[in-house]
Every structure is written in structure tokens, then in C-alpha cells.
Structure 1
Amino acid sequence: MLSKTKFLLPVIAGAFLLQGCNNNSDEFYTTADGLTYKIYERTEDGAYENKGQVSPEDTTGAKIGEVVTMQMSYQNAEDSVLFDSRTQDQPVMIPVMEPTFKGSLEQALMMLSPGDSGVFKVSADSLFAKTFAQPMPPFIKPGSQLTFFIKAEKVQSREQAMADQQQMFEQQMQEAQARAVEQQKVDDQRIQEYIQQNNLQNVQKTESGVYYVVNEPGKGPQASAGDQVSVHYKLTHLDGKELESSRNNPAANGEPFKFTLGEGQVIKGWDEAIQKLQEGSDATLLVPSTLAYGEQDRGPDMPANSILRFDVELVDVEKQ
């Protein structure tokens, strides 16, 4: 996270950060190096006021080597929002480095103190050529400017920022685990209803919560962690919509999917449930979202918290 690559994220629509500031009536200023800006500082009553022109001698902002934790969005010349950190559920942390060109984003960060908000216009050509060292994407016009909306939350040493980052990750993990516990209850209820509605018989459940039915038991060796296994599968939603099938996968020439069991190469539900089968088994797996892709949104065919059904055939077990 402490890198410039944080800027280069997918195009995301979002709201601007400086709500409550009257951007239309406030005046922009331009530094001697060509950085166009307006900076707001928070008053005692909680409102934001345009700070006015910042003196070149002003040293109250972030310094080279420090890390700015901020909420940030930016847009192209057509006012299309290209990134908004508020949609990521976490602030952006960027180390302040030596400016890569006159009127750079690094200079913008050096004008901000904790609590300040700013609007900055930066040359798109220079930003991509000298800061990102990457070709400019087609949705940004040559010769145009990107407008950055930044609210500085903290200015810290690198060590302090890394400690904060670690604490934030731990908190996010705890929150995600708590959500998963509640989602598991929801998924379990839905799977039980599905089993009843479809009159599935001889249903078993793994320790973590995958429901499975052995439709045709195998006669080969029992699969276990560390084995190389080959599996044919058909993936569907509970509504019956087919998402993919190993037999109809042209990229694999219809061959079964091969992986090492129990090493996290597949979703948790597979790592656990396949170990319940013997080579040659034909089975149905009902995998709760928490043991599949969880809160990941994998597109319109697999939204977040999707319960998945797999019809599998354990073709081969290579004991290791």
C-alpha cells in the first residue's frame, strides 16, 4: 500500500470527497511550478474554509519521507471519476517522495497538514510519463489535467504508518471474520431449504459446513491432503444456472482439473469435501459462500456471498 501503484486502480464511479465545500465560488491558485490548487482547512466550528494562497516558505505540510494517510479521488478532464478511496473501505497511504516534475502530485502532498482538504490539477502527461512511468490510458486525453480531491487524515513517519497499517489490517480481518460467522448461518439455512425442496437423500456435512451427497461411491483410494487429484466438475448456482464445466472447457481440452489437495490451491470447500471421497466417486457438493469466494464479487454470474453447487467426479487420486 505504501507505493505509487496505489494510484493505478480500475475505473470506479464514486462521490467526491469534499462535500460541504463550496468548490465553485472558491478561487484556485497556482504555484510558481505550475501546480493549480485550492486548500481548505478546518475551522474551530468544524466548517472548511479556503486557506488561500500558500506561501513557498510554508513548511507546515507533509515532508519528504513522511507518509500521508488520506481519502482521495481523482477524475479526468471529462469529470469521470477514475478512483475513489471511499469505495475501497480504507484510506490510501502514500509516502512523500522527491517531486518527479514541476507541479507534481508529490508537491501537492507537501502542501497538506493533517485535517486539510485540497483540490489539485496535475498534468496527466507528466504524471504518467515521469511519476508512473507508464503509457497514458486511452480514457485520458493527452495535454489534459487530472483533478485530485484529497483529504489528509494523518501525516506520520514511515514506521508509524506501517504500524497503523498493520492495526488496520487486523481490524479488517476481525470484522470480516465476524461477518463470515453471520453469513455462515444464513448460508446454512438456505442450503437446508434447498436440500428439502429438492428432496436430496443421504446428505452429509463436513466439519466446516459443506453439505455433500455421494451419488456413486468409488472403489479406489481415499483422497487425503497432499494427494494429487483429478476432478471433473460442473458448477451451478442453487437456481440451476450453470457457470462452468470441466468437460466443456476448451482451454483444458475437456480434461479433468488437477491439483494438490489440502494446499489452498482451490476453495476451502473443495479442499475439505474432496477428502471425503474415494477415487471413482460421483458426488454433489453444496458449498456455502464462506467456504467458496466469500465477499468477493466475481461479476454478474457470481456476486458476493454466492452459495455454489458442484457435481464432481473424482477421476484419479495419486497418493504422495
Structure 2
Amino acid sequence: MLRTSFLFWPALAAGALGLASCDKTSGGGDFAKTPSGIEYQVFKNEGGKYSSREIAAGGDSAAYRKRLGQIIALHVEYRTAKDSVLFQSRKQQMGYPVRVPLQPVKAKGGLEEAISMLQPGDSAVFRFNADSLSIKTTGQPAPPPIKKHGNTMILYVKVDAIQSQADAMVAQQKAMQEMQVKQQQHAEAQKPKDEAIIQAYVQKNNLKTQKTASGLHYVVTQPGAGAKPSQGQVVSVNYRGTLLDGKEFDSSARNGGKPIEFPLGVGAVIPGWDEGIALLGKGAKGVFLIPSSLAYGQRGAGNDIPADAVLRFDVELVDVKAAPPQPSMPMGMPQGQ
């Protein structure tokens, strides 16, 4: 199961959907419209009270050109025309803002232009044609999970700050350190809960699992004839991933029936996979019961994998290939430089 990156529309196009709510100042009322077709409501914060404000010409304004190269920190939420939440950054960022560099606006009518309109303290609602926004961002029409609710995409934004690159880097490093501490504390508290869930599942389904020191439970249902893979080797795996209630959230069958390929032991997949696949010989089949600390933790993944979910994977190690060759060091180049 590959890791998933969440940030703006590309994450939605890949099926990364989230939950919860963003700071919303208004969801109704009249929308103004830019010449490029973006419908918007922008509100400024004055002493804790919000009032609507007119905007300058976005990326064409002198004020925005002065901000080029700076970093905007903001909270974002996407909703459909029927107000279904598709993605919410607060959940993915554990309450911390995402940070985006302010660059020249190349494509009018899209996210770049919308963000260029904003100032520190602003809250805003943007309304887009979903197909038009997707084509500007990804080159493809909006995916069916988006359009089934109508061809409108609504973006709620709350600006936290606009910072220099140096200040943004300091703030980002601090946030990452705080997030790691919170995640570690939560994971430690969750471990005994996950173990109890797995034990109950094992007994109910009459499974005879082995357990690793990290908490991964596994069963080898068909021994492999080949050697076990080592770190860096490229493995091919057929798989089916389900929650413990049997609901499937991903499989190689969904991806054209082809096995997934990835380098083992380098963080390309969730930790439970890196550890579990290394226990199998080529040709082996098995079952992994992966605690949340070795999967997607308290963040979960999209609509299908909730926070703190224990996951089951039925896997088959189809092939093991040699690690790709590393670039050779030029002659005369001292190591470590």
C-alpha cells in the first residue's frame, strides 16, 4: 500500500478524500466574479469581526508582485456542489497549515490565481467549474467521484500567515517536530488498543498468526520457492487490502490486475508492508494484520481508511528483482563530497 500525499487538487484526483470542517465565514450570499471566471467571496478580519472586501487584480496586482517568493500558510477545504466534504487540510496536517510558495500566476481561472487574491487574515470561499479546474491543474477532466455531486467545486480558505522563506522554514520545522511528538504519543497509546482488536479478530477468524516485535501479525499461507527479498530490491506484489469488517479499500485487481512494484525497505510503502514483504520468499502468499502505527495512524487515508484503523492485506510476492544500479562516482571525486 503506497503512501499518499495530500495537497490541493492533485490529491483529490488521486482519490485522496478527507473529513471534518474548515473555518467558514460564509457559504451563501452573492459571489463576485473575476474576468477569468472565478467566483469568490473574500472576507477580512477586523478586530475579530469579518466583513467582505473587494479584491485587487490577483496575480496581476502590484501588491501581489511584491509578495512573490514568499510563502503563504493556509487551511483549505474542498466541498462538492451538494456540500459533501472531499478534502480537509486540518485533518491531514493535525491542525497545522499547509504552506505554498507564491509564484507568478501562469494559468488564470485556477487555484494559483485564487490564492494570489488573498492577504494575511483573510477567509474566502471560491467556486469553480470542476472540469475546468481539474484540466487547469492536472490536464484531465474532474474524476467521477467529484462530478457525481455536480460539476461545481467549492474551496474554503483561511489564511494563517504570509511569511518570508526563512520564517516559513522555521515555522515548518517547528510544526513538524510538534506533529512527530503528537503522533508518537498517540501511537504509543493506541498500540494496546490495536493489539486487542487484532487478537479478537484472530480468534474470531481462527487464524494462527506470528507476531513481530513491532506488532505486525502475519500468516504465510503458501511458502515461496525463492529467497526472501532484501532492502533495496524491487518487489512485485499482488494484494487486496480490507478493513477488519471486510470492506475493501484497495487491490491490485482495481489497478488493472497488475502487481504493484516498489523498492523494499526505503519507505516507498507503509512500514507494515516494508516489514511484512521482507518475511516472504518469492512466490509466497500471506496475510498481514497491520496495526495503525505501522499503517496510516491517526490520520487515516481518505474516506476509506479511518483514523487508527487496523488493516488486513492478502498478498502474493510475485517477483523479486535486483536493486537498480546506483550512479557511479566520477573518478577523482573524494567520498563524502
Fold shared by both chains (TM-score > 0.5): yes
Q: Residue type of the partner of 1:162?
A: M
- Of 46-55 and 269-278, more deviation after overlay is shown by 269-278
Mapped contact 2:292–2:311 kept (Cα < 8 A): yes
Q: Deviations over 1:198-251 (max 9, x none)?
A: 7778x7643222356789999x999585599999999887678999999xxx94
- In structure 2, how many angstroms separate the alpha carbons of the residues matched to 1:315 and 1:77? 43
Could you tell me how far apart the structure 1 residues matched to 2:300 and 2:134 are? 30
Give the equivalent residue in structure 1 for 2:119. Answer: 113
Superposed, 1:142-291 pairs within 5 Å as 148-193=155-200, 205-211=211-217, 225=230, 251=257, 268-269=271-272, 272=275, 287-291=290-294
Q: Any idea what the Cα deviations from partners look like across 1:31-87, whole Å, max 9, x if unmatched?
A: 78876644322222x221223576998849972222221223456777776654345
Confirm whether residue 306 of structure 1 aligns to residue 313 of structure 2: no
- Deviating more after overlay: 185-194 vs 233-242: 233-242
Consecutive unaligned residues of structure 2, counting only runs of 5 or more, are 1-6, 324-337
The AA in structure 1 aligned to 2:120 is P
Residue number in structure 1 paired with 2:74: 70
Give me the identity figure in percent: 35
CA distance in 1, matches of 2:44, 2:249: 52
Taking the aligned partners of 1:150 and 1:245, their CA distance within structure 2 comes to 34
After superposition, the Cα gap between the structure-2 partners of 1:110 and 1:278, relative to the gap in structure 1 and judged at 3 Å, is closer
Aligned to 2:89: 85
Residue matched to 2:331:
none
Deviation digits for residues 270-305 of structure 1, max 9, x if unmatched?
A: 6556777899999876543433555544875x6652
Shift of 1:184: 1.6
Task: Give the C-alpha shift of residue 154 in structure 1.
Answer: 0.5
Q: 1:47 aligns with which of 46, 49, 52?
A: 49
Q: Indicate the residue corresponding to 1:7 in structure 2.
A: 9
TM-score normalised by the chain length of structure 1: 0.59
Residues 303 and 221 (structure 1), Cα distance of their counterparts in 2 relative to 1, 3 Å cut: same
Q: Which secondary structure state, in structure 1, belongs to the residue aligned with residue 73 of structure 2?
A: strand
Residues 276 and 288, structure 2, Cα contact 8 Å, conserved in 1 = yes
Range with bigger deviation, 149-158 or 11-20? 11-20
Note closer, same or farther for the CA distance 1:35–1:169 as it changes in structure 2 (3 Å cut): same
Q: Which runs of 5+ in 1 are unaligned?
A: none
The one-letter amino acid of 2:121's match is G
Aligned partners of 1:277 and 1:179: how far apart in 2?
Answer: 30
Give the AA of the match of 2:293. Answer: T
Deviation at 1:115, TM superposition (A): 0.9
Preserved CA contact (<8 Å) 2:18 2:86: yes
Higher RCO (CA-CA < 8 Å; seq separation 6+): 2
**Cα distance in 1 between the residues matched to 2:203 and 2:18:** 42
8 Å CA contact 1:204, 1:212 repeated in 2: yes
Aligned match of 1:19: 24
Task: Quote the offset at 1:135 in angstroms.
Answer: 4.2
CA RMSD of aligned residues (A): 5.8
Q: What's the TM-score once normalised by structure 2's chain length? A: 0.57
Give the whole-Å Cα distance in 2 for the aligned partners of 1:146 and 1:240: 32
Work out the CA distance in 2 between the residues paired with 1:316 and 1:185.
35
